Every structure is written in C-alpha cells, then in structure tokens.
Amino acid sequence: MNIVSLARHAAIAAAAGSFALALPAQASEDKIRMMDANKDGMISAAEHTAGARQMFEKMDADRDGRVTSAEMDASQGAQEGGTPAPTMSSAEKIKVIDADNDGAITAAEHEAGSRGMFSSMDVNGDGNLTAAEMQAGHQKMTGEQPR
C-alpha cells in the first residue's frame, strides 16, 4: 500500500468515526463486545455497518441528515472520556469523505467511509474483524506502536 493510499485509509477511518481509532487493545475488545450482535467474538460487515449507522445518528444532533464538524466535535467529546486527542480535526475528517464538498457528511458518505475502513482492516478478507485486526488496523492507520 503506498503512502497516499495509507493516508487516505487513515483519514477515512477517522472521518467515519472509526471504531478502532485511539483504542488500546482492551478497548478494541470492548468495541467488539458492544457491536457483536451475534456474540461470535468478531464484527461482521453487517454489524459494522449497523454500528456506523448508529454512530452517524448519534452525531447528527439536529437530525437534518448531515453531520457538521461542530456536531462531530460535540459527539466525540461526549464519547472520548479519557482517550487521547484525535490526530485530525473534525473538519479534516469530514473533508476526506465529503463527496459533494459541502462541508458536512451525509449518511451515505459516512457509510461509504465506514465500508472503506472495514475493508482496509479486514486483512485476511474473511468479512469479519477480530479485536486483533481492529488494533492492527488502528496502528497501521495512525503509525502508533503496539502498547
């Protein structure tokens, strides 16, 4: 994967509200438990899509079908608690997947970004994400060293 592609995948993951960004190994396992509807220990593409849809709905505070950087900031602030500050601003995250360049993301733009993130993290191509794949995907996208 070239550096431009790697940077794009990282930005897509961040813009999509990545379930794996800024997550230590335990947090990846916690996210899997939270999103794992069938309790098989993995996140399927369908489970990931459902989680992304739920995240978009939480971010869309005014329910207009679009998420602005202010809405994303407010949502991330509520979710982060004690996690490290994001490496990209919400405006930068939005710009990466904002297909119509209107400064906000729609549910369709968010879903497309989430699909790209899932595909890049599913390194074995089995259609599921394990906690290890989520953690490795995070580290690959952000350049962080394993903890």
Rounded CA gap, 61 and 128, in Å?
30
CB 28 within 8 Å of CB 131: yes
Confidence of residue 23 (pLDDT cuts 50, 70, 90): very low
pLDDT tens-digit series, residues 90-107? 999 899 899 999 999 999
**C-alpha closest to that of 12 among 73, 86, 98:** 98
Domains of the chain: 3-142 (1.10.238.10)
Query: In angstroms, how far is CA 143 from the centroid of its own chain?
Result: 16
Higher-confidence position of 4 and 55: 55
> Looking at the predicted structure, is the pLDDT value of residue 3 above 70?
no
**C-alpha closest to that of 144 among 44, 60, 25:** 25
**Which residue carries 């405006």 as its tokens?**
91
> Looking at the predicted structure, is the pLDDT value of residue 21 above 90?
no
Q: Indicate the pTM of the whole model.
A: 0.72
pLDDT tens-digit series, residues 28-63? 677 778 888 999 989 999 999 999 899 999 999 999
Partner residues linked to 128 by β-bridges = 44
Confidence of residue 19 (pLDDT cuts 50, 70, 90): very low
* pLDDT, the chain, mean: 79
Q: pLDDT over 70 for what percent of the chain?
A: 69
Rounded CA gap, 74 and 76, in Å?
6
Cβ neighbours of residue 41 closer than 8 Å, sequence gap 6 or more:
32, 130
